[in-house]
Amino acid sequence: MSLSAGGVAIDDTFAEAFDMRATALVITADSAKWAMQAATTMTGFATSVIACGCEAGIDCELRPEQTPDGRPGVRVLLFAVSTAELQRQLTNRVGQCVLTSPGSACYAGLHEGEDKLKLGAAIRYFGDGWQIAKKIGERRYWRLPVMDGEFVCESVTPMTKRAVGGGNLLIMGATPENTLRATEAAVQAMRAVPDAIMPFPGGIVRSGSKVGSKYKGAVASTNHLYCPTLKGAVDSAIGPEIVSVLEIVIDGLTSAAVAEAMRAGLKAIAELGPERGALRVGAGNYGGKLGKHHYRLKELMP
């Protein structure tokens, strides 16, 4: 039996996702603009762990009263496949992108977690002996003298092992414009969901991949079953009515956050409807054997 939401066909399939290690940071600055600049820079080139080392994105903007230092802030999330890689990415990205950004400060964005990652504790050596540790309440900060004053960075940030990476939706439409419109609407709705990010450009990936390749050494290659220009030549997953397919990949601090984001995305696509938006929504999986987390679209439909 075929499923449908608001006239949009929903495949009876599931998205398959994986356990990941993750942390969150709160980056502040004297203005919202510069907090966002630091956050944008440190989450750049972080679309996929395949080649970027981590997946990172902006979770939300924070009002001054929501940040430790009372300045405007941005919460960012970082995901990686191992603790060591997450630590490496965290240190490099904060060191090169946040420390360097005018007026910035950087704090832990999680309050509980089984393990701790070094934040200021790794970057403090930049202070060349002039760094100052300050313990305020239960939290310890490093103060590094820099050319515009001081960079304040919390010593450690908790890490969660319960994070999930790879939740996804495949949005299929009759024209590229309609497909993009539906996908943008979905991303916009998903951004409102806390603890989840969509790490690809603008939240969207147009080159969805499958595992493996005909070429040795390539771990991933184009998802040819969803490429519209191949639909006559291969055992395609899309019918003649589909001209464009876009994917949204979701990473969440918890499995619930991923499910909630997918739910919000499906709702937005259904509300837009098939006339101006998507004809069909599917999800990517590997037969259910690789990833521990399965998100069935029919359970998340509006």
Partner 1 sequence: MSRLTFRLLGSPPQRVDLSGLTPEALKDKSVAEIASLPIHTTRAALSVGDLFDVKDGDGDEIVFEGGAERLDRVGAGLSQGAVRVVGEVGVEAGRGMTGGSLFIEGAAGAYAGSGLRGGVLRITGDAGERVGGPRAGETEGMNGGLIHVGGSAGARAGDRMRRGFLLIEGAAGDYAGSRMIAGTIAIGGKAGALPGYLMNRGTLLLASGAERMSPTFLDCGAFELVAARLIAAHVDKISARLGAAFRGPLRRYAGDLAALGKGEIFTKGE
Report the interface residues with partner 1, using CB under 8 A.
28, 68-71, 105, 130, 132-137, 141, 143, 149-150, 152
Least separation in angstroms between CB 159 and partner 1: 23
Helices 176-191 and 255-276 meet at what angle, rounded to 10? Answer: 150
CA–CA gap between residue 218 and residue 28 (Å, rounded): 39
Q: Which residues are within 8 A (CB) of 147 and not within 5 positions of it... i.e. 6 or more apart? A: none
Least separation in angstroms between CB 253 and partner 1: 25
Least separation in angstroms between CB 114 and partner 1: 24
What are the strands, taking DSSP E only, across 187-300? 196-197, 209-211, 220-222, 244-252, 280-282, 293-296
Least separation in angstroms between CB 130 and partner 1: 8
Indicate the residue among 68 and 302 with the shorter CB distance to partner 1.
Answer: 68
Indicate the residue among 56 and 156 with the shorter CB distance to partner 1.
Answer: 156
CA distances from 81 to 41, 86, 112, 255, 272 (A): 21, 7, 19, 16, 35
Least separation in angstroms between CB 180 and partner 1: 41
Cβ(86)–Cβ(94) below 8 Å: no
Token pair recorded at residue 38 = 């630091």
Least separation in angstroms between CB 132 and partner 1: 7
State the CB neighbour count (10 A cutoff) for residue 294: 16
DSSP codes joined into one string, 46-60: -S-TTTSSSEEEEEE
CA–CA gap between residue 165 and residue 248 (Å, rounded): 12
Secondary structure class of 111 (helix, strand, coil): coil
Least separation in angstroms between CB 110 and partner 1: 18
CA–CA gap between residue 217 and residue 213 (Å, rounded): 8
